[in-house]
Amino acid sequence: MAYAPMAAAQAAKPAADGKLNETVKIAFIDPLSGPFANIGQNILKTFQLISGRVAKTNPAGVTFEMVPFDNKGSPQESLNSLKAATDQGIRYVTQ
């Protein structure tokens, strides 16, 4: 699971080619409240750490921002979060 931010970074590469100092937003949809909040928060912090490290070693200056969405452990909330992410123009999603 730790490879998801790296895969997202590679997926974002074509969108970032030729654009210095671009910020690529990646939606993170997972339970961030309720009984599984500690797991979701831990995964989010891991993704943020990895995306920060990728940004430091990226010669083009592209940064990756993890945008958290709380699905509250519900499939319907996941769909609502996905719609909210796309409405905000976020093109990449991980869960």
pLDDT in tens, the chain (95 residues): 445 555 555 655 555 455 678 899 999 999 999 999 999 999 999 999 999 898 888 878 888 999 999 999 999 999 999 999 999 999 999 99
- Is residue 48 situated within a structural domain? yes
- List own/partner pairs for 38-44 with CB under 8 A and 24 or more apart: 40/70, 43/1, 44/68
- d(Cα 4, Cα 16) in Å, to the nearest integer? 18
User: Which domain, by its residues, includes 39?
Assistant: 23-94
- Is residue 71 situated within a structural domain? yes
In angstroms, the Cα distances linking 47 to 19, 21, 63, 76 are 23, 20, 13, 23
- Is residue 60 situated within a structural domain? yes
Number of domains forming the structure of the chain = 1
Task: Note the pLDDT of residue 81.
Answer: 98
